Amino acid sequence: MSLYGMMRTGVSGMNAQANRLSAVADNIANSDTTGYKRSSAEFSSLIMPNTGGAYNSGGVTTTIRSAVSTQGVMTYTTSVSDLAVNGDGFFVVQDAAGTPYLTRAGSFVPDAQGRLVNAAGYQLMAYSYANGDPAATANGFEGLVPVQISDQQMTATPSTEGTFSGNLPAGATPPAGPLPSSNSATAEYTSKTSLVAYDNLGNKKLLDVYFTNTGAGTWEVSVFDQSKATPGTSFPYTGGALASTNLTFDTTTGKLTGATNSISFTVPGGSTLNLDLSKVTQLGTGFTVADAKVNGNAPSSIQKVQIGQDGIIYAQFADGSTKALYKIPLADVQSPDNLTAMPGNVYVQSTDSGAVHIGFANEGKLGSIVSGALENSNVDIAEELTNMIAAQRSYTANSKVFQTGSDLMDVLVNLKR
Answer left, alpha or beta for residue 259, where phi above 0 means left and psi between -120 and 50 means alpha. alpha
Give the pLDDT of residue 151: 65
Give the pLDDT of residue 373: 95
293 and 185, same structural domain? yes
Give the pLDDT of residue 274: 97
CA distance 219 to 241: 16
Among the listed residues 371, 401, 407, the one whose alpha carbon sits nearest the alpha carbon of residue 78: 371
Residue 314 belongs to a domain: no
Beta bridge partners of 271: none
- What is the residue type of 4? Y
182 and 291, same structural domain? yes
Give the pLDDT of residue 1: 53
Encode pLDDT of 97-119 as tens digits. 999 999 999 999 999 888 999 99
CA distance 115 to 206: 37
Residue 389 is classified by DSSP as: H
Taking the chain, what is the end-to-end CA distance rounded to the nearest angstrom?
24
Q: Find all residues with CB under 8 Å of 124, minimum gap 6, and list them.
A: 83, 91, 92, 93, 108, 115, 116, 117, 118, 146, 147, 328
Residue 147 belongs to a domain: yes
Give the pLDDT of residue 390: 94
Give the pLDDT of residue 165: 96
Residue 24 belongs to a domain: yes
Among the listed residues 196, 204, 208, 269, the one whose alpha carbon sits nearest the alpha carbon of residue 233: 208
Give the pLDDT of residue 153: 65
Last residue of a domain, one of 278, 299, 320: 299
Please report, rounded to a whole number, the percentage of residues in the chain having pLDDT higher than 70. 98
Contact predicate 123/391, CB 8 Å: no
Q: Count of domains in the chain?
A: 3
136 and 53, same structural domain? no
Encode pLDDT of 320-364 as tens digits. 778 889 999 999 999 999 999 999 999 999 999 999 999 999 998
257 and 278, same structural domain? yes
Residue 27 belongs to a domain: yes
Answer left, alpha or beta for residue 265, where phi above 0 means left and psi between -120 and 50 means alpha. beta
Encode pLDDT of 135-166 as tens digits. 998 888 999 999 998 765 677 889 999 999 99
Q: No. of H helices and E strands in the chain? A: 2, 30
CA distance 302 to 197: 20
Q: Find all residues with CB under 8 Å of 275, minimum gap 6, and list them.
A: 162, 163, 164, 195, 223, 262, 263, 264, 265, 294
Print the domain residue range for 98. Answer: 75-151+329-375
Q: What is the CATH number of the domain that holds 291?
A: 2.60.98.20
295 and 163, same structural domain? yes
Beta bridge partners of 103: 91
Among the listed residues 120, 25, 29, 32, the one whose alpha carbon sits nearest the alpha carbon of residue 376: 32
Give the pLDDT of residue 219: 96
Give the pLDDT of residue 417: 63
138 and 269, same structural domain? no
Residue 321 belongs to a domain: no
Beta bridge partners of 101: 93
Residue 266 belongs to a domain: yes
Last residue of a domain, one of 252, 280, 299: 299
387 and 346, same structural domain? no
- What is the residue type of 98? G
263 and 163, same structural domain? yes
215 and 166, same structural domain? yes
Residue 307 belongs to a domain: no
pLDDT in tens, the chain (417 residues): 577 778 888 888 899 999 999 999 999 999 999 999 999 998 888 877 776 667 777 788 888 888 999 999 999 999 999 999 999 999 999 999 999 999 999 999 999 888 999 999 999 999 999 888 899 988 889 999 999 987 656 778 899 999 999 999 999 999 999 999 999 999 999 999 999 999 999 999 999 999 999 999 999 999 999 999 999 889 999 999 999 999 999 999 999 998 889 999 999 999 999 999 999 999 999 999 999 999 888 888 788 889 999 999 998 877 777 888 999 999 999 999 999 999 999 999 999 999 999 999 999 899 999 999 999 999 999 999 999 999 999 999 989 988 888 888 888 778 866
338 and 286, same structural domain? no
Beta strands in 104-160 (DSSP E): 109-110, 116-117, 123-128, 145-146, 155-157
Residue 104 belongs to a domain: yes
Give the pLDDT of residue 10: 86
Residue 227 φ/ψ, nearest 5 degrees? -65, -15
Classify 39 as helix, strand or coil.
strand
